[in-house]
Amino acid sequence: MNMMSESAVEKALDQKMSDASHKMIGKDVSVYYGEKRALFDVNLNVRENTVTALIGPSGCGKSTFLRCLNRMNDTIENCRVTGKITLDEDDIYDNNIDVVELRARVGMVFQKPNPFPKTIYENISYGPRIHGLSKNKADMDQIVEASLQRAGLWGEVKDRLHESGTGLSGGQQQRLCIARAIAVSPEVILMDEPCSALDPIATAKVEELIHELRANYTIVIVTHSMQQAARVSQRTAMFHLGQLVEENDTDKMFTNPDDQRTQDYIMGRFG
Amino acid sequence: MTDVVSPAAGIPKAKSVRRDIGIKGRYAAERRFRAYGIAALSFGIIFLMLLLWSVVSKGYTAFQQTMITMPVEFSQQIIDPQNERATNPQKLMTANYPVVARNALAKLLNVSVDDRVAARAVSQMLSDGVRVQLRDLVVANPAIIGTTQTVRLLASGDIDSAYKGQIDLNVSQENRKINDQQLGWMTQLSDSGALAKHFNSGIFVNGASSRPEAAGVGVALIGSFYMMLIVLVLALPIGVAASIYLEEFAPKNKFTDLIEVNINNLAAVPSIVYGLLGLAVFVNFMGLPRSASFVGGLVLTLMTLPTIIIATRAALKAVPPSIRAAALGLGASKMQTIFHHVLPLAMPGILTGTIIGLAHALGETAPLLLIGMVAFVANYPTTPLDPSTALPVQIYMWANEAERAFVERTSGAIIILLLFLILMNVGAILLRRRFERRW
């Protein structure tokens, strides 16, 4: 691919993005941990085929919001979510939405690489297997290869598919986790500080991967690194003290934010 | 740093003074602590060695038994004088076999059986167990009646003890169980090679007997085996299922807190209390047979459950939350998360807990006494509902016996029990190694 066509693809994607429908819509989302309120009426929309970065100082609620999007907060004792979050018009907190099905549509990559202590092949094939996505072994082999290809890991692991996934390096493990998330063909991928445990080279690889994944998936990423948000995302949302301060195009956010607090945070005056 | 400061600056050049931050004291404390540790460890090892030495030195002789090999004439005259065995098979069961054996030994020693005193002395050298030994031979093959066969017969317990040097021969012969004449015969037989020590397979296969030379842990082994099987089959699934429910599914409220506290308390309840419970519920209320290894197994299951539950919950808790998050994030249900990922990772801990619980149950005596497993059982239990004993109970019973030969048997049975315990613990370690995975 030469430079011209690449930027053309970019342009097409950006075009697609600007008139993209909203994949997920959060309306007046509030989260309580017991008595403590962690999120205050957040209204945030996630656009299709877009990387949306959530930034903000520690404890601002960005991870909490992310975990609302695939109901991982359900696993936390005393956690209560109010408001409405929709995925393609479906209210994900509605009673007739199954959380298992939701998580098959909204995948997640965690802060620390957490491959299962099984082989690389089993790591990838687990999701498709429990959801019955493959009919036979050949089918599964293909899913595994395609997922690893997309995660840019195929070349590195194709000869050791049946070795343990925990034997890989940190960066490889994280890409394995991304491949594992892709394997169930989700529509949205949530990433909770996916590079915070990685070195700069591994980080660069994962960022490149996020960039490529944008063509097929909607991505929401929580990050502490301002530069990372600027590099990988098209939309950025800034959280502070459980409130959504500002949501904007990334370019605008980092050059001319509307809110003073965003300006201060990006300039490093607090946080 | 002070050295670098120029004296020209007016500051007197101080030699670098090292602050006293108590380095020496800290190292001394560490050395002291290590010394305490080594002392405690050596203490423990010394006592363990003493215990093992005491048991082994007393018990190893139990695995050898003095026997007399001699030609025995299966005289028709004595066994079946009226030749009625074809019509009355009972005859072969009740025949006077001890006389057959006595006559054979008397012949070997050139003693006349008409001399009543000498004849009695001769017959005292043989175990009463020869009755069974010879009977089994004849019943198995009645054709040997009338022939002479070379047979290896058990010597009596007193001869056995004397031959192993366990009887003090300085005591005058009126005060010991074996007189000088018998001692002379014993030496004579031993010199001719007829009397010798052989490997004692009887201790593993025989049932209870009041004659030490014929007593064995066979029934106790079967009883203990049945009980371990019942404990494993009941306690492992119930314990693991209860732990999974409590740890993963149960809501955290006052009620489950209460259950948790009670499980921890139950693990500390004296085992004899479980025996009383078993007696009241299983034997008296439910009417299950007493002395049965089935009831023993149920009681030991109750006793082992808290141990298994506590170990399993600890193992489940130790599984990193990131693995659960990964599985849930992929859309696995709670059940799939637990059974595909959490349980396999907790397996080494669960198995270790279970085997330690089983080993504990194997050595448990007190509750079994209460449900009547402290019984004289000579016949093998064919099902777990038949009367039987258990290894530790057998040890307890033998320890109460007066004969010298039971002392070595008590220690011998302890050695057998310890071997089984070591075997189980080695099994636990191997299983843990096998299942252990790094994450």
Mark yes or no for CB contact B325/A72 under 8 Å: yes
Residue B6 pLDDT more than 60? no
How many other CB atoms are there within 10 angstroms of residue A186's CB atom? 23
Q: Within an 8 Å CB–CB cutoff, is residue B22 touching chain A?
A: no
Residue B395 pLDDT more than 90? yes
Number of domains in chain A: 1
Average pLDDT over residues B389-411: 90
Q: Is residue A34 part of a domain?
A: yes
Whether the CA torsion B325, B327, B332, B337 is positive or negative: it is negative
Chain A neighbors of B320, CB-CB under 8 A:
114
Q: What is the pLDDT of residue B224?
A: 93
Average pLDDT over residues B341-359: 90
Which carries the bigger pLDDT value, residue B233 or residue B96? B233
Q: Is residue A5 part of a domain?
A: no
- DSSP readout, A176-205? HHHHHHHHT--SEEEEESTTTTS-HHHHHH
Burial environment of residue A136 by CB neighbours within 10 A (0 to 12, 13 to 18, 19 or more): exposed
CB pairs under 8 A between A and B: 67
Contact B180, B148 (CB under 8 A): no
Q: Within an 8 Å CB–CB cutoff, is residue B24 touching chain A?
A: no
pLDDT band at A206 (very low <50, low <70, confident <90, very high): confident
Chain A neighbors of B331, CB-CB under 8 A:
100-104, 127, 130-131, 184
Mutate to test the interface with B, among A66, A71, A130 (most CBs of B within 10 A): A130
Q: What is the pLDDT of residue B226?
A: 94
Residue of chain A nearest B251, judged by CA positions? A77
Q: Is residue A112 part of a domain?
A: yes
In chain A, which residues touch B (CB < 8 A)? 70, 72, 75, 77, 100-104, 107-110, 112, 114-117, 126-127, 130-131, 164, 166, 177, 180-181, 184
Domains of chain B with CATH codes? 64-199 (no CATH), 218-435 (1.10.3720.10)
Q: How far apart are CA A177 and CA A170, in angstroms?
A: 11
Q: What is the pLDDT of residue A53?
A: 93
- At residue A76, φ and ψ (nearest 5 deg) are -95, 130
Q: In terms of residues, how long is chain A?
A: 271
Residue B76 pLDDT more than 90? no
Question: What's the first-to-final CA gap in chain A, in angstroms?
Answer: 40
Q: How far apart are CA A157 and CA A178, in angstroms?
A: 14
pTM: 0.81
Query: Which of A70, A114, A131 faces B322 most closely, judged by CB atoms?
Result: A114
Q: How far apart are CA B180 and CA B184, in angstroms?
A: 6
Q: Within an 8 Å CB–CB cutoff, is residue B330 touching chain A?
A: yes
Shortest CA gap A12–chain B (Å): 31
Chain A neighbors of B332, CB-CB under 8 A:
100, 126-127, 130
Chain B neighbors of A126, CB-CB under 8 A:
327, 330, 332, 340
- Identify the residue whose tokens are 């993209």: A20
Residue A136 pLDDT more than 60? yes
Q: What is the pLDDT of residue B2?
A: 47
Mark yes or no for CB contact A117/B437 under 8 Å: yes
- DSSP readout, A88-137? TTEETTSTTS-HHHHHHHEEEE-SS----SSBHHHHHHHHHHHTT--SSH
Q: How far apart are CA B124 and CA B106, in angstroms?
A: 11
Chain B neighbors of A127, CB-CB under 8 A:
330-332
Mutate to test the interface with B, among A114, A166, A176, A185 (most CBs of B within 10 A): A114
Mutate to test the interface with B, among A63, A78, A108, A220 (most CBs of B within 10 A): A108
Q: Mind listing the pLDDT tens digit for each residue in A22-63?
A: 889 998 999 999 889 988 999 999 998 999 999 988 888 899
Q: How far apart are CA B221 and CA B204, in angstroms?
A: 8
Long-range CB contact pairs, B249-257, < 8 A, 24+: B249/B334, B252/A77
Mark yes or no for CB contact B330/A101 under 8 Å: no
Residue of chain A nearest B321, judged by CA positions? A114
Average pLDDT over residues B384-409: 90
Average pLDDT over residues A95-110: 89
Q: Which domain holds residue A115?
A: 18-257
Q: Mind listing the pLDDT tens digit for each residue in B100-157?
A: 899 899 988 888 888 888 888 888 899 888 888 888 888 888 888 888 889 899 998 8
Mark yes or no for CB contact A110/B327 under 8 Å: no
Mark yes or no for CB contact B331/A110 under 8 Å: no
Q: Is residue A96 part of a domain?
A: yes
Q: What is the pLDDT of residue A17?
A: 52
Mark yes or no for CB contact A166/B438 under 8 Å: yes
Mark yes or no for CB contact A100/B329 under 8 Å: no
Q: What is the pLDDT of residue A6?
A: 58
Query: Which of A103, A112, A131 faces B329 most closely, judged by CB atoms?
Result: A103
Q: Is residue A113 part of a domain?
A: yes
Q: Is residue A155 part of a domain?
A: yes
Q: How far apart are CA B210 and CA B115, in angstroms?
A: 28
Q: Is residue A1 part of a domain?
A: no
Chain A neighbors of B327, CB-CB under 8 A:
116, 126
Q: What is the pLDDT of residue B19?
A: 80
- Percentage of residues in chain A having pLDDT higher than 70: 92
B22, two tokens: 């108590």
Query: Which of A77, A117, A180 faces B330 most closely, judged by CB atoms?
Result: A180
Interface ipTM? 0.85
Mark yes or no for CB contact A117/B333 under 8 Å: no
The domain that contains A81 carries what CATH number? Answer: 3.40.50.300
Q: Is residue A25 part of a domain?
A: yes
Q: Within an 8 Å CB–CB cutoff, is residue B248 touching chain A?
A: no
Q: Within an 8 Å CB–CB cutoff, is residue B322 touching chain A?
A: yes
What is the CB-side half-sphere exposure of residue B403 using CA atoms within 13 A? 22
Average pLDDT over residues A141-161: 90
> What is the identity of the amino acid at B130?
V
Mutate to test the interface with B, among A75, A78, A92, A110 (most CBs of B within 10 A): A75
Residue of chain B nearest A190, judged by CA positions? B329
